Amino acid sequence: MTTHTLSSDHHPTLRHAEREAIGAELQGILVVLTDLALIGKHAHWNVQGPEFRSLHLFLDEMIDAWREAADAVAERAVALGHAPDGRIATIAARTELPQLDAGPQLDRELVLALTRILTEAISAIRLRMDPLEAIDTVTADLLHGIVAKLEEQAWMIRVQAA
């Protein structure tokens, strides 16, 4: 009888050090996406003004997309042997995103703030994505899709300020 055990370096094409590096980059992206969803919920609950309804509903759509993207990033990290950390203390300590003020968010000002926050999120993800291109195209492909969606959302928010 033969028994098979998996080593800690079980990935067929990526070595442990590569997977650790990818996991660290994915953790940073997970922080960005989780914080983005939390910022979005704050905006969703506090938006005020003539564009309340459209922003309130659009924020729900964007938040769902950000949560799905965070889930995909975390699952990719786990698939590579990295344990993602989505605890609120970790997100708060490591976030790179500008924050909204507490309290009511006037619709016009919120559109400008969300445009800035989304731009920062895209930039932070792109900075982490670029080095992964040569190491792991699967992870890079996942991140390309996330960035494409964020860029579309940034455009859709930005044009509301016109």
For tokens 């708060």, what's the residue?
A: 92
Domain boundaries, the chain: 16-161
In sequence order, which residues have a C-beta less than 8 Å from that of residue 79 and are 6 or more positions away? none
Kindly compute the dihedral angle of the four CA atoms of residues 52, 106, 153, 91, in this order, to the nearest 10 degrees.
Answer: -120
Return per-residue pLDDT of the chain as tens, 162 residues.
444 334 455 565 677 778 888 999 999 999 999 999 999 999 999 999 999 999 999 999 999 999 999 999 999 999 998 999 999 999 999 999 999 999 999 999 999 999 999 999 999 999 999 889 888 999 999 999 999 999 999 999 999 887
* Architecture of the domain delimited by 16-161: Up-down Bundle (1.20)
Evaluate if pTM is beyond 0.75: yes
20's tokens: 């650790």
Can you tell me the distance from the alpha carbon of 149 to that of 142, in angstroms, rounded to the nearest whole number?
11
